[in-house]
A and B are shown apart, each in its own frame.
Chain A
Amino acid sequence: MKDEPNLVEMRDITKGFPGVLANDRVSFAARAGEIHALLGENGAGKSTLMSILTGLYRPDEGEIIVAGRRIELHSPRDAIRNGIGMVYQHFRLIPPFSVAENVILGLDAPRFLLNMPEIEKKVAALSESYGLRVDPKVKVWQLSVGEQQRVEIVKMLYRGARILILDEPTAVLTPQETRELFLTLRRMAGNGHAVIFITHKLHEVMEVADRITVLRGGRSVGTVEKKDTNPASLARMMVGREIPPAPSRSEGPRGEKILELQAVQAMSDKGLPALRGVSLTIRAGELLGIAGVSGNGQKELAEVVTGLRPVQAGRLYIKGKDLTNRSPKEIIEAGVSHVPEDRLGTGLIPNLGVLENVILKEYRRPPISRGPLLDRRAARERSEDLVRDFQVKVAYLDLPVKLLSGGNLQRLLLAREISAAPSLIVAVYPVRGLDIGATETVHNLLLQQKARGAAILLISEDLEEILHLSDRVAVMYEGEIQGVLPSSEARLEEIGLLMAGMKKEATTA
């Protein structure tokens, strides 16, 4: 494999967006048969570089060479023709279509008539040969995120792509699914594909990559062999400074009961039971982690606590006050902050500027409001303070927040939610997609709030994160709490069993 020639090479690629130079003379190459990891902080330009390779963005400068030939990419179609395929960070699937329909989308064959049974058979055969279990007949909206990702991969393989790019594929996967994905990637590399994959998780890089290229601030820092490096030096390459050891949990004094749920039941969006009698309490100064495979009621739990989803049965108390089925406004006023999973949908308003998003929750109160009017000056001061204190990188305060990078978006959201000095913070997958620097910032912020005396409900798929930060861990499975353990006593295997639905009684019996 060492002497394999490059299957794909990008030379001196430059790409600017209004106000930023996303790629600055970046060179990158990948060989057939290797898994090549692309590392870098949020906003380093990884997705941009790869989107250029798939013909989605036009580079301002630079050239692309595939299998020794210089090519021009005018559209994704050209890239597909040259054997380049990408699984995007935000999937590009059509939910009301079936898996098979998604797979054949854009192909020239069949010419006119769609013989779905025959196509489905071909799709099934191909996906099985790579160990990617998906039912070609099912509609995509019915699939879990992990399954949708498999559809994306099958789509690329079906096109005969030789260069496969995966943009943060593991951010949305469970540990089990991640392991399966890595097996698939290995198999693809073994078949002579070049696999390029983007991630923020260094241990994954060390586990699966052959070579690693690091980007920082739009420039390439270099390419290294896995065997010649280690996580610490990779982190240094990415960030350009030493990463301090992760902050660790500290036992502070526990205070009064802040959140109490009593046998709460709620429905999912599809009208099926999502919470089946959940009871739990969190005290002031305590961080409770909810572990579990996503889709087992975590999202609904967070929405019930923040007043976004009606409770069918059971009661919700905040600081002893019954707030069952009250409006989100009343719950906010009771001191609850929410860092939702979907930052640009529920958390922030994409097309509004930083300033407007900052005052979203307090525009009704002085000093931001003056009678029926907004005090723009006060709002501006407030936004400037937050942006400075939380080190959000923005060019100007009226910038639409949809243009912020992932890490900055999350900083801004946390800044708004934390600055209200809440007594309860509900944080859902708060570091998903964030680089190590930003992850560290978010974790520190949460721990500081805990030390200040806030109660924190943390929902995450990352067991290590949960064990690291939580005082107690509750495991959810099919809408029920399988067990609550103090995290000092919890072992990974035990939590894994609970996540798979083995009740606590079973393990103690």
Chain B
Amino acid sequence: MDQMLLISILAAAVTSGTPILYAALGEILAERSGVLNLGLEGMMLVGAVSGFMAAVKTSNPWLGLMVAALAGGVLALIHAFLTINLRANQVVSGLALTIFGTGLSGFLGKPLIGIPAPQTFKPVTIPLLGKIPLLGPILFQQDYLVYLSYLLVPILWFYLYRTRPGLHLRAVGENPAAADAMGVGVFSLRYLYVAVGGMLAGIGGAYLSLAYAPTWLENMTAGRGWIAIALVIFSMWDPVRALLGSYLFGGVDALGFRIQAVGAMIPSFFLNMLPYIFTILVLILATREGSRRGAAGPGALGLPYDREER
């Protein structure tokens, strides 16, 4: 394989992995606070469609992005209300959210199908860094949202492990009763991180419709929300590992795309399947390794908290 092709595949891996990375980072925050949100796919779709709609109306992709984040956040708040206040089962509520989001986005997106985005996020070469051989064209000739995700990963990592609010976030997901007894606001923190998680999922969706595709197609996430949920487990709730996992998925995705473009004799359905199969395999291997080392998710993941419950 010549170098140009390799570079283009790796650059495409980053682009293709970015929406998953945003969604996974959001889910990491929610799950770290103890709330499992299986509504990722739905929130991404609604983010994609609402962001696209706003960008079409205003011709400003940044405004589109904000609307997408807001839409994702609002959907997540529904999940928060159901699971935190009403103590509904988190799995059921999350699944319902995905079904709802899928339907809603299809409905809202009907008139938008086939319209090209007026303004999209386009690659911008970073001065100096973009000139580095190999790494430059792979990492630093991307769009602003990719750069934003580069910043977000270390920031989140630092926030989780080196700051007081990060400590409180982990405490709430690990043992809410202990956190509560020490005066940490379990309910408000869970609300906060579920909402922020939804906003990041919305941004992930908008990345698809405003940068990756960039257009609106019904069901355009194509299961990326579920892959992101799987990646959260694979990453053991760690932002840096989530980045690696996302690019891995993106890499296989990009590779399949190239093979298809070259016109190999492999059915396209099979190639489209590849990244999902690959992710699941890696997931199985990684979690087996993880469980052997005794690493597990947040202790109270999926459990509602009630102060007066025995």
Contacts and interface: CB of A to CB of B under 8 A. Distances in A.
Contacts of A93: 175, 178
Interface stretch (A109-117, A190-198, A365-373, A460-468): A109-117
Interface string A36-59: 000000000000000000101100
Contacts of B307: 56-57
Contacts of A101: 167
Contacts of B185: 75, 77
A92 B162 contact: no
Looking at chain B's contact residues, the main secondary structure is: helix
Given A56-B307, A105-B167, A113-B162, A92 B183 contact: no
Interface in B156-209: 162-165, 167-168, 170-171, 174-175, 177-185
Contacts of A104: 164, 167
Interface in A383-408: 402-403
Contact of A57 (B171, B175, B184, B308): B308
Nearest to B174: A94
A363 interface: no
Contacts of A80: 182-183
A159 B255 CA distance: 57
Given A57-B308, A97-B174, A112 B163 contact: yes
B178 A92 contact: yes
Nearest to A102: B178
Contacts of B164: 104, 107, 110-114
Contacts of B181: 54, 56, 76, 86, 88, 92
Contacts of A155: 182
A114 B162 contact: yes
A345 interface: no
B254 to A, nearest CB: 37
B179 A96 contact: no
Given A56-B181, A75-B183, A76-B181, A94 B175 contact: yes
B182 A76 contact: yes
Interface in A82-138: 86, 88, 91-97, 101-102, 104-107, 110-114
B165 A106 contact: no
A: contact size bracket? 20 to 34
Contacts, number: 78
Contacts of A77: 183, 185
A160 to B, nearest CB: 13
B190 to A, nearest CB: 15
A60 B299 CA distance: 32
Contact of B180 (A76, A95, A113): A76
Contacts of B310: 402-403
A55 to B, nearest CB: 9
A472 B163 CA distance: 55
A406 B185 CA distance: 30
A465 B178 CA distance: 33
Contacts of A57: 307-308
Given A105-B168, A402-B310, A94 B179 contact: yes
Interface residues of B, number: 23
Contacts of A97: 167, 170-171, 174
Contacts of A95: 174-175, 299
Contacts of A114: 162-164, 167
A106 B162 contact: no
B163 A105 contact: no
A112 B165 contact: yes
Contacts of B170: 94, 97
Interface in A401-428: 402-403
* Residue of A101, A107, A403 ringed by the most chain B CB atoms within 10 A: A107
* Residue of B162, B179, B180, B183 ringed by the most chain A CB atoms within 10 A: B183
Given A57-B308, A94-B171, A97-B174, A105 B182 contact: yes
* Residue of B163, B175, B178, B180 ringed by the most chain A CB atoms within 10 A: B178
Nearest to A116: B162
Contacts of A110: 164
A22 B199 CA distance: 44
A114 B180 CA distance: 20
A97 B170 CA distance: 9
A181 B177 CA distance: 25
B158 to A, nearest CB: 9
B179 A106 contact: yes
Contacts of A111: 164
A346 B307 CA distance: 24
A77 B185 CA distance: 8
Given A56-B307, A94-B179, A106 B184 contact: yes
A150 to B, nearest CB: 16
Contacts of A76: 180-183
Contacts of B184: 105-106
A155 B181 CA distance: 11
A105 B175 CA distance: 12
A15 B179 CA distance: 24
Contacts of B162: 113-114
Contact of A96 (B174, B177, B180): B174
A47 to B, nearest CB: 10
A91 B181 CA distance: 10
B167 A92 contact: no
Contacts of B168: 105-106
Nearest to B158: A113
B178 A113 contact: no
Interface string B268-308: 00000000000000000000000000000001000000011
A17 to B, nearest CB: 8
B171 to A, nearest CB: 6
A92 B177 contact: yes
Contacts of A94: 170-171, 174-175, 178-179, 299
A397 to B, nearest CB: 19
Contacts of B299: 94-96
A93 B182 CA distance: 10
A92 B182 contact: yes
B308 A92 contact: no
Nearest to A403: B310
B141 to A, nearest CB: 34
Given A76-B180, A92-B181, 6 more contacts: A80-B183, A88-B181, A92-B178, A105-B178, A112-B163, A114-B162
Interface of A: 17, 54, 56-57, 75-77, 80-81, 86, 88, 91-97, 101-102, 104-107, 110-114, 155, 402-403
9 contacts: A56-B307, A56-B308, A75-B185, A76-B181, A80-B182, A95-B174, A105-B168, A106-B182, A114-B164
Which 3 A-B residue pairs are closest in the complex by CB-CB distance?
Answer: A106-B182, A77-B183, A92-B178
